[in-house]
Structure 1
Amino acid sequence: MEASAIRNAIADAARAVVLPEGIGKLTCTGYVPGAVTAPHFFCGEYTVDYDRAMGRGLDAVELTCRVLVSRADDRAGQRILDSLLAGSGPSSLKAAIEAARGAPGDYALGGLAHDLHVMRMQGYRWYEHQGVDYVGAELIIKIIGEG
């Protein structure tokens, strides 16, 4: 699996979320941006467990993604964040990303991986990015594919 292609495909999948009217669109990048345009989803750190099957047959990636929203209005920002972190619905990052799994029997992310699963949300807190404070959280995504 090629890491930057996987991260870009995850960001593309996240763009499918529909935010409540008046919020605008979710900005998404497959890399850690120098500057954030809130609300913003990006792919950050990842770990790779190599050789999960013999002969370089399978690797497992655990990708940490962050979503940051403006804290100009604390309550409104947290409502937006909560909708993005919901397990289902039009604003759900989990639902949008897992839709990129494809149909049963298809490869995920347009053929880049065997499968993926949004495993958990963590770190719901204040984040500082380039000197600006945001409210945000992390999504942990497990991706498996050929080694």
Structure 2
Amino acid sequence: MQIAAVRAAVAAAAATVVLPTGTGPLTATGYTPDSVTEPHFFTGEVNVDFDRAMGRALDELEITCRVLVGRGDDRAAQVVLDALLSGAGPASLKTAIEAARGAPGEPALGGLAHDLRVERVQGYRWYEHAGVQYVGAEIIVRVFGDGRT
């Protein structure tokens, strides 16, 4: 798998969420940005497990993504964050990212991987990014794909 392409595709899938009325659109990047326009989703650290199947047939990526929401109004920011972290609904990052799995039997992320899943949410807290405080959380995305490509 090509890590940069996978990260970009995960971010593109995340960008399809529909946020609550009155909230700006979610910006999303397949890399850790210097600064963010909130609300913002980005792919961060990547852990790679090579050779999960013989002949380099399967590698596994664990991508730690972050979503940061501005804290102009701490309660309103957390309402938006909660919608993004929900397991279903138009603002659900899980639903948006897992929609990129494709139909049964089809490759995920437009052919970049075999499959993916949003595994968990962790670290719901205040984050500092480029000297600015945001409320946010980490989203762990696991991607499975051919190690020979």
Q: What is the rounded CA distance, in whole Å, between the counterparts of 1:26 and 1:75 in structure 2? A: 18
Match of 2:124 in 1: 124
Q: Deviations over 1:67-93 (max 9, x none)?
A: 000011000000000000000000000
Residue type matched to 1:66 in 2?
Answer: R
| SS state at 1:31 partner | coil
Distance in 1 between residues matched to 2:104 and 2:55, nearest whole Å:
25
Q: Give the equivalent residue in structure 2 for 1:61.
A: 61
Match of 2:14 in 1: 14
Which residue does 1:72 correspond to in 2? 72
SS of equivalent residue, structure 1 residue 79 = helix
The reply to whether residue 39 of structure 1 matches residue 54 of structure 2 is no
1:98 has 2:115 as partner: no
Alpha-carbon distance in structure 1 between the residues aligned to 2:24 and 2:12: 17
Q: Residue in 2 aligned with 1:110? A: 110
How many percent identity over aligned positions? Answer: 67
Cα deviation for residue 8 of structure 1 reads 0.3
Gaps of 5+ in 2: none
One-letter amino acid of the structure 2 residue matched with residue 110 of structure 1 = G
Rounded Cα–Cα distance in structure 2 between residues aligned with 1:15 and 1:130 = 22
Structure 1 residues 125-144: aligned runs within 5 Å: 125-144=125-144
Tell me the alpha carbon deviations over residues 43-99 of structure 1, each in whole angstroms, 9 at most, x when there is no partner: 000100000000111000000000000011000000000000000000000000000
Q: Where does residue 52 of structure 2 map in the other structure?
A: 52
Instruction: Find runs of 4+ consecutive structure 1 residues off by over 3 angstroms.
Output: none
Question: What secondary structure, in the 3-state scheme, does the structure 2 residue paired with 1:98 have?
Answer: helix
Structure 1 gap segments, 5+ residues each? none
Query: Distance between the aligned counterparts of 2:142 and 2:44, measured in 1?
Result: 13
SS in 2 for 1:100: helix
Q: Please give the per-residue CA displacement for 1:118-146, whole angstroms capped at 9, x wherever unaligned.
A: 00000000000010000000000110000
| Residue type at the aligned position of 1:49 | D
Counterparts of 1:121 and 1:66, CA distance in 2:
9
Matches within 5 A, 1:79-90: 79-90=79-90
How far apart in 2 are the matches of 1:87 and 1:35? 27
TM-score normalised to the size of structure 1? 0.99
TM-score (norm 2): 0.98
> How many residues of Structure 1 are paired with residues of Structure 2 in the alignment?
147
